[in-house]
Amino acid sequence: MNTNQTESFFAIGLNYQKADAEIRGHFSISETAQKAIILSAKEKGASSLTLISTCNRTEIYGFAKSADDLIKLLCEHTRGTVEEFNKVSYIHNGKMAVSHLFKVGTGLDSQILGDFEIISQLRTGLRRSKKAGVLNPFMERLGNAVIQASKRIKNETEISSGATSVSFAAVQYIMARVPYVSEKNILLFGIGKIGRNTCENLIKHTKNEHITLINRTKIKAEEVAGKFNLVVKDYANIQSEIAATDVLIVATGAQLPTISKELLYLKKPLLILDLSIPKNVSETVKENPLVTLIHLDELSKVTDATLEHRQSQIPLAQTIIEEVALEFNTWSKNRTFAPTIKALKSKLSDIKMGEIDNQRRKISDFNEEQAEIISNRIIHKITTQFANHLKGANGTTQQSIDLINQVFQLQSTNDE
């Protein structure tokens, strides 16, 4: 696949650090939109592109003439605007973009330090891009390197030790704020990944036997409920179930709010935890004086002890990243001049063939086989000398490549 020389490798995006949940929701990319972005990028001639969209971040990695091309692509397929994006975004180019992806993929840039959920998103995104034909060798190799680093950090450090997931944080919050929690009614609306994890944590830590599940697709709720011996109610009954519960956990993952004040007919206090991005609980519920609404941004705080221990593992994680990144960067650097060395070798081989042919006509007992062996050895030594020079040409590699191309009149061969 060809990478246009006028293109650069960019990482553009926004995350929890500068963009609140509402803004992140504007740029949240559904599964359908992710596929549409990849297709649109391909139609526009993009050589390579992949993306990540979680509750805490939305990012696009790809080759483009400018970062603006990727920003426009993102805004065309989300509810966000370019102006809104520019206020809270970050843009990385070249080596900085590579470094950023390593930090993101290994959990060092996560809202919860050591959260490795992102790596599955990266894998899925890379597979989707490759299937669509918009994943060049550079990005495929980079993605594999990040996955390798992530795996090593997870296995060789304790940076993910201790329970700090959003679902665990939700349960911790409930246990800290709701007295006699084991006797309270808890309603879980939505049983995606976060919903299932929350369900498991609720059962494990609260010893509560009054947990009810509701899901738009009832059969999915029944599958989860079967594992834990929980009650499942019809979605049609959600209004009466909310009225009867003490704690409502919303993990529906919809693009628009699924809970609003119109559903609330309350006679007792209700704690609502919204674990969704975009927000799935309308702010209008706060108009009801019996409601306390907590969003996952407020839950994504880990205990000081756990965080302190995880932070102590950062230097070891960074060492692993440096090892894997060095290997990738060496490959990447060599790849930039490999086509030039290949073209040089081909040029010298053409000269060799011309000279051997010339000598064959001039000398009656010319030893062509011996001449071939000697010439090939000389070509190998010359190209190796040039390759070693280019490996050590820090900051001047492209100048050296241009000079070699000029001296030997090589055709442009830096496409791969």
Contact 414, 7 (CB under 8 A): no
Write phi, then psi, for 64 (nearest 5 degrees): -155, 160
Contact 250, 191 (CB under 8 A): no
Residue 118: how many CB atoms within 10 A of its CB? 21
* Encoded tokens for 235: 């979605």
CA atoms within 13 A on the CB side of 209: 0
Compute the distance between CA of residue 142 and CA of residue 84 in angstroms, rounded to an integer: 30
Q: What is the dihedral of CA 25, 27, 32, 38, to 10 degrees?
A: -160
Compute the distance between CA of residue 83 and CA of residue 80 in angstroms, rounded to an integer: 8
Residue 177: how many CB atoms within 10 A of its CB? 12
Q: Is 293 helix (H, G, I), strand (E, B) or coil?
A: strand
304-312 and 314-362 helices, crossing angle to 10°: 30
137-156 and 117-132 helices, crossing angle to 10°: 160
Cis peptide before 179 (omega within 30 of 0): no
Contacts 24+ apart (CB under 8 A), 392-396: none
Compute the distance between CA of residue 379 and CA of residue 12 in angstroms, rounded to an integer: 44
Pairing of strands 186-189, 211-214: parallel
Helices (H), 161-244: 166-177, 193-206, 218-228, 238-244
199 labelled catalytic: no
Q: What angle do CA 169, 321, 129 make, to 5 degrees?
A: 80
Report how far apart the first and last C-alpha atoms of the chain are (Å, whole number). 6
Catalytic residue selected from 41, 55, 191, 294: 55
Pairing of strands 211-214, 57-64: unpaired
DSSP annotation of 273: E
Name 341's Cβ contacts closer than 8 Å, sequence gap at least 6.
383, 386, 387, 390
Q: Just list the catalytic residues.
A: 55
